[in-house]
């Protein structure tokens, strides 16, 4: 040293500062010597090293301690929502679960710990922001306007919820450079494909649920093909409307279609009531005609059979058959008419006759069976 505590330094014999004054403060004690402090530190360090720290042995002990301290930096902790990805010289060698783990320390090894339980949300067609404690939404028409299968334009906003795959987190880390942009591009492509398969009426009304599920499956399939290491949890449609410029005209068209459906339903209801009645009436007429046909055919067959039987009888006894047929014919002709029978053998004229039919409470002449034949009997001849 160029000066010592005894000489007082460059400012004189007394311990003074650079501005010509001595040290301030109570006690008036002497300032500590920096060189003396370094010397005492070296002495303490030699006490810890065997042999006084001299030679190769001392440097070996110091090097070994440094190596052990460096190796101890390889311990790391994996949280329950993380997966540890071990790398050696930048190459992926395996993954570890939660808990205290170890890998070679830097620069040989390193660890990447992606979170596999965090659910992330991507918006397509709109952007939601929080400014001045107020949530605002901004439309993105270049993402939301899509073409349907019947060549109509529909405005769709939807969100995609995704998370890192717990089974393949290394694919997410090493295969995706910009996960949000990649997933958003796949989501927009899948939604356009599904909307392009349907007409606008189905997209606006009945197919919202099927579209969400089909888009989720299609996204998952495409991301798996890319080896993205991402799981799509849910696709949710936020807004499905016609473009703002034509929404009034579209509502008029919707009202006209509703009227068309109403009138069609009324016509179908009327048809469902009238057509069965007409079919029933037609069936009744057909059945009546068939019954009449069967009756006429049966009568004709009976008459033909009866005529054949009479003919067979006539061939056996012609005289008797002719008389019987004559009597039957008279019975049919005279059976329903008033008759007067005169006995030409018994007298010269007609005899008074008691109206038996009137006395019996009937306006028709009395009937009796004579010789197996039915006839009206007025008077029997007195000469018999």
* pLDDT, tens digit (0-9, with 9 covering 90-100), for 198-208: 988 888 888 89
At 98 the pLDDT is: 85
Per-residue pLDDT at 124 exceeds 70: yes
pTM of the model: 0.52
Over residues 205-216, the mean pLDDT reads 91
Q: What percent of the chain has a predicted confidence (pLDDT) above 90?
A: 28
Q: Which domains does the chain have, with CATH numbers?
A: 73-112 (no CATH), 121-242 (3.30.479.30)
Q: Which one-letter DSSP state was computed for residue 151?
A: S
At 157 the pLDDT is: 93
Per-residue pLDDT at 6 exceeds 70: no
At 357 the pLDDT is: 59
pLDDT band for position 285 (cuts 50, 70, 90): very high
pLDDT band for position 300 (cuts 50, 70, 90): very high
Mean pLDDT estimate for the chain: 78
Three-class SS of 81-138: CECEEEEECCEEEEEECCEEEECCCCCCEEEECCECCCCEEEEECEEEEEECCEEEEE
Q: What percent of the chain has a predicted confidence (pLDDT) above 70?
A: 72
Over residues 116-140, the mean pLDDT reads 81
In the structure encoding, which two tokens stand for residue 147, read together?
A: 């073409």
The label of the residue with tokens 């007067």 reads 340
At 61 the pLDDT is: 75
């Amino acid at each position: 040293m160029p000066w010592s505590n005894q000489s007082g330094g460059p400012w004189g014999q007394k311990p003074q500062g650079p501005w010509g004054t001595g040290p301030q403060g109570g006690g008036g004690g002497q300032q500590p010597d920096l060189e003396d402090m370094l010397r005492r530190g070296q002495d303490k360090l030699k006490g810890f090293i065997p042999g006084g720290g001299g030679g190769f042995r001392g440097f070996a002990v110091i090097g070994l301690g440094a190596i052990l301290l460096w190796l101890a930096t390889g311990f790391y902790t994996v949280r329950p929502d993380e997966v540890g990805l071990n790398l050696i010289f930048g190459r992926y060698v395996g993954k570890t679960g939660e808990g205290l783990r170890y890998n070679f320390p830097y620069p040989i090894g390193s660890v990447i710990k992606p979170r596999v339980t965090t659910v992330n949300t991507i918006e397509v067609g709109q952007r939601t922001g929080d400014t001045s404690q107020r949530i605002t939404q901004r439309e993105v028409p270049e993402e939301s306007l899509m073409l349907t299968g019947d060549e109509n334009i529909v405005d769709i906003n939807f969100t995609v919820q995704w998370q890192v795959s717990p089974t393949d987190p290394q694919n997410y880390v090493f295969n995706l450079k910009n996960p949000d942009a990649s997933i958003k591009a796949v989501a927009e492509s899948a939604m356009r494909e599904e909307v392009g398969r349907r007409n606008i009426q189905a997209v606006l009304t009945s197919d919202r649920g099927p579209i969400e599920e089909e888009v989720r499956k299609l996204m998952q399939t495409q991301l798996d093909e890319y080896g993205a290491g991402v799981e799509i949890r849910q696709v949710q449609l936020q807004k499905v409307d016609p473009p703002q410029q034509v929404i009034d005209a579209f509502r008029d068209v919707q009202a006209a279609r509703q009227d068309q459906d109403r009138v069609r339903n009324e016509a179908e209801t009327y048809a469902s009531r009238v057509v069965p009645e007409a079919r029933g009436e037609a069936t009744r007429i057909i059945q009546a005609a068939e019954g009449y046909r069967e009756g006429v055919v049966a009568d004709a067959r009976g008459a033909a059979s009866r005529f054949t039987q009479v003919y067979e009888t006539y061939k056996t006894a012609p005289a008797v058959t002719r008389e019987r047929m004559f009597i039957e014919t008279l019975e049919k002709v005279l059976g329903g008419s008033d008759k007067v029978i005169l006995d030409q053998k018994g007298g010269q004229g007609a005899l008074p006759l008691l109206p038996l039919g009137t006395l019996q409470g009937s306006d028709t002449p009395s009937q009796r069976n004579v010789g197996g034949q039915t006839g009206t009997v007025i008077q029997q001849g007195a000469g018999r």
